[in-house]
Structure 1
Amino acid sequence: MISPELQIALGRVLPDAELSVQSVLPGRDLFLALIRDMSLQRHLDANTARLVMNNPLYWILCWASGRVLAAYILEHPEIVRDRRVLDFGCGSGVVAIAAAMAGAAEAIACDIDPLALAATTHNARINKVSVSLSDDFESVKNTVDVILAADVLYDRENLPWLQRFVDRADMVLIADSRVRNFSVSPYKKLCEKASCTIPDMDESGEFNSVSIYTASSKGDVLRGAG
């Protein structure tokens, strides 16, 4: 069942759009409430386009980087198992949900958008897992063992977060499709995976390749997977 709150919020910006529950990872039972069809939204009138710009609905899509990072966590559950994990800029909540499914002691979904937190709550319920919520990174108390973040490097103003993550957690994993390579110590490129956003936005092919970077405050960096 789709949350009426989320459907109403979507309708305020895209009146003809609908949410539906969709599978987002091949071979995995992970489902999210996402916009049904992006093709209907590719030719927006000026007023609607302005609404979208002023009310970015990041949570209505499962972005390629989020899919890759969620899949990686499920393939390597030892990264988060029995650890306190924070998903920074959670959007739909796919990464936090994957962490919870992989056995995290606590999966914290952090986002400044209240609708993203509402979507994450709804999506966690769909997947029968529990996540905690935070609208402020600094307000999260006590130890955070692992920080996960997808698509935070597109804006250079976000780069200072990379050091803040390492200062806060023993392990950090960043997934990004907009920045192919970057040189920020102590981060190392872990691997590169092909993916796409769901629903398909018909993005440029360059955005269908996602890189995962990792850093550790203890100096032990994960090795890449095939």
Structure 2
Amino acid sequence: MSDTLQPPGTPRHLLQALHEVIPGCELMVQQLPEIPISLWLIPPVFPTDRLDDEVIRRIWNDTPYWIFCWASGLAMAQWLLAEPHHVRDKVVLDFGAGSGVVAIAAKMAGAKQVICCDIDPVSLAACRENALLNGVTLEYLDDLYSAAQVDVLLAADVLYDQSNRFFLDEFLNFAETVWVADSRVKNFSHPRYIKLEEHSATTWPDLDEAREFRNVSFYRTR
């Protein structure tokens, strides 16, 4: 679909970045289930049968994570809005922010200050657009190691790659309280973290993932 057929107000810089990976794909505002948050995401019906090998290679090598609201991010956003005392009046950092859904939820839950942290500049641009869409004010950071100390660090769906596990130790340098939500790693063993609960959520738009990836484990620092 061409840019001219996009909904009015579609962020053209996000659309251009998306087309560099998946030509012809749309962006549309989608209301998330069970919470009052909307995001710029790809359409629910995604024509995967039309993707050639080169596009598939680009998707794998340069995954635009911000075009989905991943299950762990959705679960954490739902949890924050249901239990706002975890972040109310606190300074919060959302690590690996992606679409910004967790950061937006934290701000809606009453956090004093919320920082979106993501190494990908397009993801930070998506966070800005989604914050604007939901009428909240966030701050943006592209390097965790330039962050000041915060009250709470939130990390959803960042352990999918084994090489990212070292962040569990790094997080402890920036916040005393760290919450990790992950659907890919069911039980990780770390002396400073404890698994507290499980939630059920679906990546949005629904990727029809295996049921096991709809169970999101929540961990907190001891």
- TM-score in same-fold range (> 0.5): yes
In structure 1, the residue matched to 2:100 is 93
Q: Give per-residue Cα distances to partners, 1:96-154, cap 9 Å, x unaligned.
A: 1111111111100000000000000000000000110000001113x211000011112
Task: Give the share of equivalent positions with the same residue, in percent.
Answer: 48
Q: For the residues of structure 2 that align with 1:42 and 1:184, how far apart are their CA atoms?
A: 41
Q: Equivalent residue for 2:58?
A: 51
**What amino acid does structure 2 have at the position aligned with 1:186?**
R
Query: Which residue number in structure 1 is paired with residue 42 of structure 2?
Result: 35
Contact 2:153 2:178 in 1 (8 A): yes
Gaps of 5+ in 1: 217-226
Point out 4+ residue stretches in structure 1 off by more than 6 angstroms. none
1:38–1:200 Cα contact (<8 Å) kept:
no
C-alpha displacement at 1:44, in angstroms? 2.1
Question: Within the alignment, does 1:200 sit opposite 2:206 as a pair?
Answer: yes
Q: Which residue of 2 aligns with 1:13?
A: 21
Residue 2 of structure 1 is matched in structure 2 by 10
SS of residue in 1 equivalent to 2:46:
helix
2:153 to 147, 152, 159: 147
Could you tell me whether the CA contact under 8 Å between 2:77 and 2:105 is conserved in 1? yes
Contact 2:80 2:86 in 1 (8 A): yes
| Matched AA of 1:174 | V
2:177 maps to 1:160: no
Look up the match of 2:3: none
Contact 1:34–1:60 (Cα < 8 Å) also in 2: yes
Query: How many residues are paired up?
Result: 214
Match of 2:176 among 162, 170, 181: 170
Question: Secondary structure of the equivalent of 2:192?
Answer: coil
Structure 2 distance, partners of 1:164, 1:15, is 37
1:112-127 map, 5 Å: 112-127=119-134
Q: Contact 2:147–2:174 at 8 Å: present in 1 too? A: no
> CA 1:112–1:38 in structure 2 vs 1: closer, same or farther (change >3 Å)?
farther
CA contact (8 A) 2:65 2:98 kept: yes
Secondary structure of 2:219's partner? Answer: strand
**2: CA distance between counterparts of 1:212 and 1:100?**
20
Contact 1:108-1:133 within 8 A present in 2 as well:
yes
**What amino acid is the match of 1:130?**
T
Give the superposition deviation at 1:42. 5.4
* Distance of 1:187 and 1:90 partners within structure 2: 21
TM-score under structure 2 length normalisation: 0.92
Question: What secondary structure does 1:82 align onto?
Answer: coil
| Match among 23, 30, 33 for residue 25 of structure 1 | 33
Unaligned runs of 5+ in 2: 1-8
Equivalent position of 2:190 in the other structure: 184
Q: Is residue 136 of structure 1 aligned with residue 143 of structure 2?
A: yes
Q: Distance in 2 between matches of 1:88 and 1:42?
A: 33
Structural RMSD (CA): 1.3
